[in-house]
Amino acid sequence: IYTGQRERDQHSAGLYPRLLGHAWDSLPLPLIKMHGCKKAEGVANVEMGRNLLAQLAAKLFGFPQAGQNIPVQVSFQSKNGGEIWKRTFAGRSFSSFQSEGDGLSERLLSERFGMFIFDFALVVDTEKLLLNVRRWKAFGVPLPLVLAPRMMVFESVVDNRFYFYVEISYPVVGLITRYQGWLVPSE
């Protein structure tokens, strides 16, 4: 169980600093630099689920195909108080829109993938920034959390570089995708 208090800092320009408040300053420098840049590049390893349902789900979201040492580019574009994250793995892209949650999701990171919205609690845990799913919606309709995909998402530092880890699975279906790697600002 994590507890904490966040005060809004209206003067912070970035989405993550606004959501994390004073906890932002406790993040490792490579994470702070990454969330302040416009473009980054690096390398990732990607695993995909093997069954048909997992592959259909991965295709629906546009997740990257399986492979090792895949070149990755990520661009961050500010829009309407949020950020468009465009991730390109070996020339194949998928995007999401991240913004501040509202209503019951106030102070959560809200990420939209097409018709789905996932609300994450940002938790600073020693040297990691964890993204824990707290709510989700499809077509704007709130759904029970027990039916949400299982996600393990975090950012950390490995070899003094920004490191990301994303694993998404679903009960019965199993692993949908797991991708992990490193990025450095390319500006």
* pLDDT tens-digit readout, 104-159: 999 999 999 989 999 999 999 988 999 999 999 999 999 999 999 999 999 999 99
Q: How confident is the model at residue 95 (pLDDT cuts 50, 70, 90)?
A: very high
Instruction: Say what the pLDDT of residue 126 is.
Output: 82
Cβ–Cβ contacts within 10 Å for residue 67, how many?
15
Query: Which runs of E-coded beta strand occur in the chain?
Result: 39-48, 67-79, 82-89, 92-100, 109-113, 116-125, 128-138, 141-143, 150-158, 161-170, 174-185
Q: How far apart are CA 14 and CA 19, in angstroms?
A: 9
Instruction: Say what the pLDDT of residue 174 is.
Output: 95
pTM of the complete model = 0.90
- Is-contact 94 74, C-beta < 8 A? no
Beta pairing partners, 158: 161
Beta pairing partners, 88: 73, 93
Which residues neighbour 76 within 8 Å (Cβ) at sequence distance 6 or greater?
A: 37, 38, 39, 40, 83, 84, 85
Helix (H, G, I), strand (E, B) or coil at 23: helix
- Tell me the CA end-to-end span of the chain in Å, nearest whole number: 38
Sole residue written with tokens 């990171």: 109
What tokens were used for 5? 């208090």
Q: To the nearest whole percent, how much of the chain has pLDDT over 90? A: 85
Instruction: Say what the pLDDT of residue 61 is.
Output: 86
Q: How far apart are CA 43 and CA 69, in angstroms?
A: 5
Nearest to 135, CA basis, from 145, 150, 123: 145
- Is-contact 158 179, C-beta < 8 A? no
What tokens were used for 23? 């906890």
